[in-house]
Amino acid sequence: MFELPSGAEIQSIVATLQSNVGFFIPEIYLSLLFMFLILLDLVVKGRKNNILPITTLVGLAGTLFFIYQQHALKAGELFFGMYVLDEFALFFKYFFVLSGMLAVIVTMADEQFDREVKSMGEYYALIVSMVIGMIMMASSADLMMIFLSMELVSFTAYILTGYFKRSPRSSEAALKYLVYGAVSSGLMVYGFSLIYGLTAETNIVKIGAELAASNPNSLVMIFATLLILAGFGYKIGAVPFHFWSPDVYEGAPTPITAYLSVASKAAGFALLMRFFFVAVPHGGVPIENKLSIDWKTLLIFISIASMIYGNVVALWQKNVKRLLAYSSIAHAGYLLLGIIVIDKFGTQATLFYLLSYFLMNFGAFYVVTLIANKTGSENLDDYRGLGKKMPLAGAALTVFLISLVGLPPTLGFIGKLMIFSALLAKGSLYIWLALIGVMTSVISLYYYMLIPLNMYLRESNMHDDKEMNPGILAQALMAVLMILTLYFGLFFTPLADFAKYSSAIFGAVLH
Amino acid sequence: MLSLIVFLPIIAGLIILAVPSSQKQIIRIVSLLAALAQGVLAVLIWKGYDPALPGITAGPGGSPLGSFQFVEKIPWITLNLGSFGPLNIEYFIGVDGISITMVILTALVSAIGVLSSWTIQKQVKGYFILYNILAAAMMGCFVSLDFFLFYVFWEIMLLPMYFLIGIWGGPNREYAAIKFFLYTLFGSVFMLLVMIGLYFSVLDPVTGNHTFSLVAMATQSNFIKDAILGPDNVMWRYVAFIVLFIGFAIKVPMFPFHTWLPDAHVEAPTPISVILAGVLLKLGTYGMIRINFPIFPEVFQASLFVIGIFGAINIIYGALCALAQKDLKKMVAYSSISHMGYVLLGLSAGNSEGMVGALYQMFNHGTITAMLFLLVGVIYDRAHTRHIEKFGGLASYMPVYAAFVTVAWFASLGLPGLSGFISEALVFVGAFSSVTTRYIAMVAVLGIVFGAAYLLWSLQRMFLGQRRPDAAYDLVAGEDGHEHIHFHDWKGKIDLDGRELAMLVPLMLITIFLGVYPMPVLGMLTSSINKLVEVLSPVILPQL
């Protein structure tokens, strides 16, 4: 069945690989950084210092330079259709590297690590490997690559979630994450195999062409769609694939929670958008193709369920991390709204919303970490009177939460504005979706405001009114994140332009 | 100049941010100076205002100049949105007859609010920062001519208000604060959707791009025929009008969306009540006049009767509720609901008399209610209770206070010679001359009777007669042989002190002056109102 390739063929394969390596520099660089960090860990082990995190930060910052250079390259497929390089992928490369850096910074601020673990060992190397995995997720154009990169991200995430080995909650979270992850990727692979059975292709561009040309059995397609959505839905944390997220977000170390809730979710969205827009023929706007309609309808249901479930269940939460977990389910719903419209504007809105979510969610988790350092608790009741004790942290957290609600003058408002504009640009077709979106965001106001309510409106049980100072660097970073959230809320042109530039997906035909 | 009047409080807030929180007096003085500077600017704007220019819609050639005044129009955000062309949001402010009265009112009430805040002792720095943000946002709302800008200012008001009620409020403040926040946000998110819908439906006649400009939206020929809120989409235009109306009605507050107001007022500290009643409620009716009605004139014409009914319900229901209150502040809060009903009734008349009356009533209600809440605050500071039954015979012990209360109360019930009379009379003249609202007006007149009842009754119980056995104060025999009043743990002057007089005297003078000679305000309103009535009249809507 298989013929051995001839010498000339092998030579051409090698030549293609060699020429394509030039398009793969950030990934190679990150792999080297990963190995370097493991080696470095052997040398500096046992000493309490910041060599490892700072090396990681510098290393990741270096990646930005290599990514920047890729803007000059032409968008296209690499490695025989395994991988693509396009503006869309570049957007996510920046996104993941920056979120990796922020995860490292939050980790450096988190004092829980000092108590829970003796050495940070492979922790930072794992963060880097997760960055690689997510970058590959955003760039995969082949079912095999999609699966491999997703598993790379998942496995790293399992380890990082359970990094507090002696904490039962952390271990429980990791186990739950693993079990759910295993089931959902199993389902997804089954879905992939059905698609392969229908089209005999693994490259998503070719799948798209094949599905457009042939008329596949719609029952099989719906089944495959559902199975694949299980995998993607798990990554983005949308209802009904969300069951892992509250427990994992609560049990994992806070920097990892922030990292998962922003970067891992964004990676899921990158994959979802690329697969949905490319593999589904004509970018999902066909004339007589049931497949795409089914995709869209399913996504609409998932989106509504996520917005309602996430926002309503969050009302009863007493733990801030858990509360933010449910809020992140709701935000997955809002993000899906931008995908449902299947056009350039919607893609731009989704990417923009991801940027705003990046800033405000990382900001919120960062402040939660700093507060937990001082109070040792993430319970709402222990936030009482914090507004007086940590004035800047209180103000910053309030800004991030207001941004998560989507009130001006914050970035979150513009994110929601873009999403709803994308919906209403379609005329009256999606007004009801926008209505659900705005009504659930009113609900979300109540639980987000519980945190400022405790911080400012209630007095602390403890009687010492001493100010707690989280340190000058932490204060500065908090202030920067807060000012950025406000600044971009008023002058968002650069971010929106960047999102527009990045909405070009290779192989997708969007209007 | 308009930008300055909007952002002065923000500048003051930034200065306060740099002042250490122990320097309470400096913080207060900075706020006061900013408020006074705002007042000076308001006077300058008033002096420079040309009442002949109409406003409401664009002037000749589609430009706001020649119609609006003190216009500042700078591109703020320009984006490329793919196939939808560029998104243009402008920093676009200006005043016409409708907004200039509100600008003056805001400057006046803000300054009085700062004076009234002098007694705040808890977290003074945070208080004044939030207060200044609130003052800037209110002013911004009244001068915005770009819907996006308006929305941003509108929403910025919510958070400071939440904290001002929630931190410095009374015992039940958490509930009142979040209730206020949720109610108003619920109204405004629908406004957001309508705003987006309007953006896609309206073209700027000058540039040909989609626009958020309220000036462009006020001209029906700028709408795209088949767009989502274009003239062809009758159903969605009705829906948009209704949700927008509800959003503003919550702020007014109109029955049945009024329940947040008594809670918020009772819990809020005195200066915040003054701001809330004096300015914030007007934003609701102002929004209707500026946005809701001119953009959907045909729906407005169709719903005159309904608006009138709601206005009448507000008038009578608010008055009846006020009659039943034992808490003086709650009574004043319900009287606010009742008086905002006159504004709605005047608007529903749809003619110049009614509209002028409505706007004049907005201005007068601002000054009179500010006075009422200040006077409630005066007695609450001294007696730590607002229970009407806990007083009696105050007139003989606090004569100056009693005199002010009497004038304010009479102004509120609409005694001729005081400003409230003229506006209410105009509202009724308008309502009677419109066929739609004639019968509603006949019923609503009852509200004046009820209004007189609760105001006079409370006046009688608190100020006339003798001290009650369970009163909130004691009487001690003075050295001069007369009895003097004594409040527990009140160290200050028994009757009104200098600061309180400084707040009340200007308001009182304005009330009396505008009751005798209303032309300074009416003169500014008339040309704009005439233009508004023209825009709203069904004759000029042939394309519908």
Domain that holds residue B420: 318-544
**Euclidean distance between CA atoms A396 and A404, whole angstroms:** 12
Closest residue by Cα to residue A348 from B87, B106, B261: B87
Q: What is the pLDDT of residue B52?
A: 84
Contact A158, A180 (CB under 8 A): no
Closest residue by Cα to residue B214 from B2, B539, B532: B532
Closest residue by Cα to residue A304 from A242, A233, A243, A239: A239
Q: What is the pLDDT of residue A281?
A: 60
If one compares A73 and B539, the residue with the highest pLDDT of the two is A73
Contact A265, A236 (CB under 8 A): yes
Smallest CA–CA distance, residue B46 to chain A, in Å, is 30
- The answer to whether the Cβ–Cβ distance between A446 and B178 falls below 8 Å is yes
Of B79, B166, B181, the CB nearest to A456: B166
Count of C-beta atoms within a 10 Å radius of residue B18? 7
Each residue of B38-60: b (16+ CB within 10 Å) or e? bbebbeebbeebebebbbbbbbe
Q: What is the pLDDT of residue B541?
A: 46
Of B166, B173, B185, the CB nearest to A445: B185
**In the predicted model, what is the mean pLDDT of residues B453-462?**
88
Smallest CA–CA distance, residue B325 to chain A, in Å, is 28
Contact B92, B146 (CB under 8 A): yes
Counting residues of chain B whose pLDDT is more than 70, the rounded percentage is: 97
- The answer to whether the Cβ–Cβ distance between B159 and A343 falls below 8 Å is no
| Residue A198 in tokens | 């229908």
Residue B540 lies in a domain: yes
Closest residue by Cα to residue B448 from B416, B404, B401, B406: B416
Q: What is the pLDDT of residue B540?
A: 46
CB contacts < 8 A (A, B): 96
Q: What is the pLDDT of residue A310?
A: 92
> Could you give the C-alpha distances from B373 to A149, B28, B266, B268, B459, in angstroms and in order?
65, 21, 10, 11, 15
**In the predicted model, what is the mean pLDDT of residues B318-323?**
92
A215-229, A315-329, A459-473: segment of lowest average pLDDT: A459-473
Which band of pLDDT confidence, cut at 50, 70 and 90, is reported for residue B414?
confident
Considering only CB atoms, which residues of chain B are within 8 Å of chain A?
Answer: 77-84, 123, 151-152, 155-156, 158-159, 162-163, 166-167, 173-174, 177-178, 181-182, 185-186, 189-190, 192-193, 196-197, 199-200, 228, 233, 236
| Residue B449 in tokens | 């009777």
**In the predicted model, what is the mean pLDDT of residues B216-237?**
84
**Euclidean distance between CA atoms A476 and B522, whole angstroms:** 53
pLDDT digits (tens, 9 = 90+) for B259-279: 999 999 988 999 999 999 999
Smallest CA–CA distance, residue B49 to chain A, in Å, is 30
Q: What is the pLDDT of residue A311?
A: 92
* ipTM entry: 0.90
Encode A416-460 in three state secondary structure.
HHHHHHHHHCCHHHHHHHHHHHHHHHHHHHHHHHHHHHHHHHCCC
**In the predicted model, what is the mean pLDDT of residues B99-109?**
92
pLDDT digits (tens, 9 = 90+) for A198-234: 888 889 888 888 887 777 777 787 788 888 888 899 9
Contacts of A441 in chain B (CB under 8 A): 189
Contacts of A503 in chain B (CB under 8 A): 82
For chain A, give every domain's residue range: 19-501
Smallest CA–CA distance, residue B156 to chain A, in Å, is 6
**Euclidean distance between CA atoms A143 and A203, whole angstroms:** 6
**In the predicted model, what is the mean pLDDT of residues A33-38?**
91
Residue B72's DSSP bridge partners are B93
Q: How many CA atoms lie within 13 A of B523 on its CB side?
A: 10
**Euclidean distance between CA atoms B119 and B256, whole angstroms:** 35
**Euclidean distance between CA atoms A273 and A351, whole angstroms:** 10
Whether B151 has a pLDDT exceeding 90, the answer reads: yes
Which band of pLDDT confidence, cut at 50, 70 and 90, is reported for residue B488?
confident
> Residue A234, exposed/middle/buried by CB under 10 A (0-12, 13-18, 19+)?
buried
Q: What is the pLDDT of residue A2?
A: 65
* Residue reference for tokens 């009688």: B460
Which three-class secondary structure state does DSSP give residue B378?
helix
- The answer to whether the Cβ–Cβ distance between B159 and A427 falls below 8 Å is no
Per the prediction, chain A carries an average pLDDT of 87
Which three-class secondary structure state does DSSP give residue A463?
coil
For residue A409, say if its preceding peptide bond is cis, omega within 30 degrees of 0: yes
Contact A394, A456 (CB under 8 A): yes
Contact A312, A346 (CB under 8 A): no
Contact B13, B132 (CB under 8 A): yes
pLDDT digits (tens, 9 = 90+) for A84-124: 889 999 999 999 999 999 999 988 888 888 888 877 778 89
Contacts of A342 in chain B (CB under 8 A): none
- The answer to whether the Cβ–Cβ distance between B196 and A428 falls below 8 Å is no
Smallest CA–CA distance, residue A345 to chain B, in Å, is 6
Residue B90's DSSP bridge partners are B75
**Euclidean distance between CA atoms B412 and B396, whole angstroms:** 23
Handedness of CA B105, B107, B112, B113 (dihedral sign): positive
**Euclidean distance between CA atoms B185 and B179, whole angstroms:** 10
Per the prediction, chain B carries an average pLDDT of 87
Spatial neighbors of B450 by CB under 8 A, at least 6 apart, are B316, B319, B320, B322, B323, B338
Contacts of B79 in chain A (CB under 8 A): 492-493, 496-497, 500
Q: What is the pLDDT of residue A462?
A: 67
**Euclidean distance between CA atoms A454 and A171, whole angstroms:** 30
**In the predicted model, what is the mean pLDDT of residues B470-487?**
74
Contacts of B167 in chain A (CB under 8 A): 456-457
Whether B84 has a pLDDT exceeding 70, the answer reads: no
Number of domains making up chain B: 1
Mutate to test the interface with B, among A383, A420, A421, A467 (most CBs of B within 10 A): A421
Smallest CA–CA distance, residue B388 to chain A, in Å, is 29
Contact B149, B109 (CB under 8 A): no
**In the predicted model, what is the mean pLDDT of residues A443-460?**
88
| Residue A5 in tokens | 């390739």
Contact A362, A102 (CB under 8 A): yes
Q: What is the pLDDT of residue B246?
A: 92
Residue B306 lies in a domain: no
Residue B322 lies in a domain: yes
> Residue A482, exposed/middle/buried by CB under 10 A (0-12, 13-18, 19+)?
buried
Considering only CB atoms, which residues of chain A are within 8 Å of chain B?
Answer: 343-345, 348, 388, 398, 402, 407-409, 413, 416-417, 420-421, 424-425, 427-428, 431, 434-435, 438-439, 441-442, 445-446, 449, 452-453, 456-458, 491-493, 496-497, 500, 503, 511
Q: What is the pLDDT of residue B204?
A: 83
Mutate to test the interface with A, among B16, B89, B189 (most CBs of A within 10 A): B189
Spatial neighbors of B25 by CB under 8 A, at least 6 apart, are none
Smallest CA–CA distance, residue B18 to chain A, in Å, is 13
Spatial neighbors of B217 by CB under 8 A, at least 6 apart, are B147, B198, B202, B211, B291, B294, B295
**In the predicted model, what is the mean pLDDT of residues B317-338?**
91
pLDDT digits (tens, 9 = 90+) for B289-311: 999 999 998 888 888 899 999 99
Whether B344 has a pLDDT exceeding 70, the answer reads: yes
Contact B166, B269 (CB under 8 A): no
**Euclidean distance between CA atoms A221 and A190, whole angstroms:** 12
**Euclidean distance between CA atoms A58 and A52, whole angstroms:** 10
pLDDT digits (tens, 9 = 90+) for A264-309: 999 999 999 998 888 876 544 444 444 445 678 888 889 999 999 9
Contacts of A431 in chain B (CB under 8 A): 193, 228, 236
Residue B272 lies in a domain: no
**In the predicted model, what is the mean pLDDT of residues B342-352?**
90
